[in-house]
Chain A
């Protein structure tokens, strides 16, 4: 029996393995960050306070929580926000993904590829690589700061639109930094060495939003289903001492996140992305480790989209004083919304009374959706490795990091 606190992930978790001789008896991933009961905290709250509260579920994907919560509320009240506000929100979310992917790929995952203990060690041998990571993360934060008002726990997205508008200078400065990074990251990705035992754990089922619809999910690149229907089909359970729930889709674990999004791409894109997908083998290989490279690939894609969105915004010539807002009239209703957060599908649902106060809330986060799949992967890996050696913890930790759990957000509720 061995127990370790996993480093280089967000929050606290343990892998608990029971081994008899060289045989695996059981394996469990315990989330140790206690529940904060957000769905209960928002009951009785005015809709305006909800995005501020729920963004505190997670600092790494605070923008996703804030934006999806705002969209769920807008859908409850039938609010149609302006096109410019939608574009700004999209830009903000790309900023968040750049910061999150930059942090994960360069600071948390890459040391595994080069046999290092941490990015600080990596910085001694490969300073340019670590510095590239900092540039991506830094740009992501700059976008969140300019468009969201802060790098963490953004302020500007509110129900009805955006309360402030970034200056043209800020937008141009972001574009100037994004453009040269596209090529630099694409080149760097081609040099990442392959990971040992990478074919061992293959993803069996995967789920992501279908395109930019925001209303349907795609399962295993073939099955299309509505968000609310999907929500009803998943079921969850929890056992102490782990503080989080394990999610299954018709009794099967499934994966969400960058690799799931890549495997669900409707058709192979063209140009640089297609070339990279081919070179990295992301579409062919369903190894969980590919989640790291899929993250790298998304950095390239998001950087391209950031420049495209900024070009559009600059053409629109939005006045810089004041926000982009439409009127909001609360009504008794329910609103559901889904979004692709950096780590995958994120679902929020609220019910309101006629004055706009919450009567019930439900939130399902990507890490919670992924936990059962993580245990499945860990089991396969442990069983195979135990045949060869006794100390398998480092490999298991590496696998966990490829899944990229964000434990602070895994604590959530469903089925109230």
Chain B
């Protein structure tokens, strides 16, 4: 049996997750040893071969994205979403569903002719076997997941919130001691509490954690003096459909 064939594809995005893969540095050459890379646009021309496993970043924002994704799904054994845009729609999936006014405001001459839809995560269009969140993905988390996926097994991931990682790091809680509107309590772990460790509240880029107690965090935000609108906007940065 030959090496598994892997392809890395971009839908609508900032290309950050694919860039993070090139950021593996010389380890990327090891990746090329482990799998046959059939597509990685930023680094090489496509080989034209179909992959066994496809990694897809970005949100679906056009019919073209949608058709591409459906066709890709038919060709591959496993389809893995990488990055928050692929998992939840990301930072661009905010605002009104109908964007026609936005388009014609921004592109007066041509906007009406653009074929775009509200940004949707991959799972709204096709079956996704596994999702690796993060804006962008965390290299360690990616390598951990790749290790499992290439053996055909679903990765083990933490089933707790960012708060847990934050406490394990011994950070002083920003929510509690600095009245900073941190989303750590409702956000999936996996980033090692990146932001709170740097004095910044978590923005929720890993998405909601399964047992997230949103109500209790909203109550805390209210007690901190945030208005209902501020609370709504706080949840509406990365978290899927906000509140």
Contact = CB atoms under 8 A, between A and B. Distances in A.
Interface string A346-362: 00000000000000000
Interface in A201-240: 237-240
B14 A57 contact: yes
Given A41-B94, A138-B25, A163 B105 contact: no
A53 interface: yes
A391 interface: no
Nearest to B181: A48
Nearest to A55: B14
Contact of A56 (B26, B90, B106): B90
Contact of A118 (B23, B45, B113, B199): B45
Contacts of B102: 37, 40
B175 to A, nearest CB: 16
Which of A40, A41, A245 has the largest count of B CB atoms less than 10 A from its CB?
Answer: A40
A102 to B, nearest CB: 10
Contacts of A56: 14, 16, 90-92, 135
B20 to A, nearest CB: 6
B15 A59 contact: yes
A137 B15 contact: no
Given A58-B14, A118-B43, A152 B23 contact: yes
Interface string A236-266: 0111100101000000000000000000000
A275 interface: no
Given A34-B62, A237-B109, A238-B109, A150 B194 contact: yes
Nearest to A52: B203
A7 interface: yes
Contacts of A119: 43-44
Interface string B7-34: 0001011111101101101100100100
Interface in A21-53: 32-41, 44-46, 49, 52-53
Nearest to A409: B14
> Size class of A's contact patch?
35 or more
B117 to A, nearest CB: 9
Interface in A393-410: 408-409
A408 B13 contact: yes
A104 to B, nearest CB: 10
Contacts of B127: none
A62 B16 contact: yes
B200 interface: yes
A158 B200 contact: yes
Which of B32, B91, B113, B195 has the largest count of A CB atoms less than 10 A from its CB?
Answer: B91
Interface stretch (A8-16, A191-199, A288-296): A8-16
B136 A153 contact: yes
B107 interface: yes
Contact of B45 (A7, A134, A237): A7
Contacts of A240: 110, 113-114
Given A33-B12, A163-B199, A52 B19 contact: no
Contacts of B106: 35, 37, 39-40, 413, 416
Interface string A102-127: 01000110000000011110010000
B213 interface: no
Contacts of B135: 56, 153
Interface of A: 5, 7-12, 32-41, 44-46, 49, 52-53, 56-60, 62, 99, 103, 107-108, 117-120, 123, 131, 134, 137-138, 141, 149-153, 155-156, 158, 163-164, 237-240, 243, 245, 322-323, 408-409, 413, 416
23 contacts: A12-B41, A32-B64, A34-B65, A34-B115, A34-B116, A37-B106, A52-B91, A56-B92, A59-B136, A60-B15, A62-B14, A99-B23, A118-B44, A123-B29, A131-B26, A141-B25, A149-B200, A152-B19, A155-B195, A238-B107, A238-B110, A408-B13, A413-B106
Given A49-B237, A151-B20, A152-B136, 10 more contacts: A7-B45, A35-B116, A38-B92, A40-B99, A49-B233, A152-B16, A239-B109, A240-B113, A322-B199, A416-B106
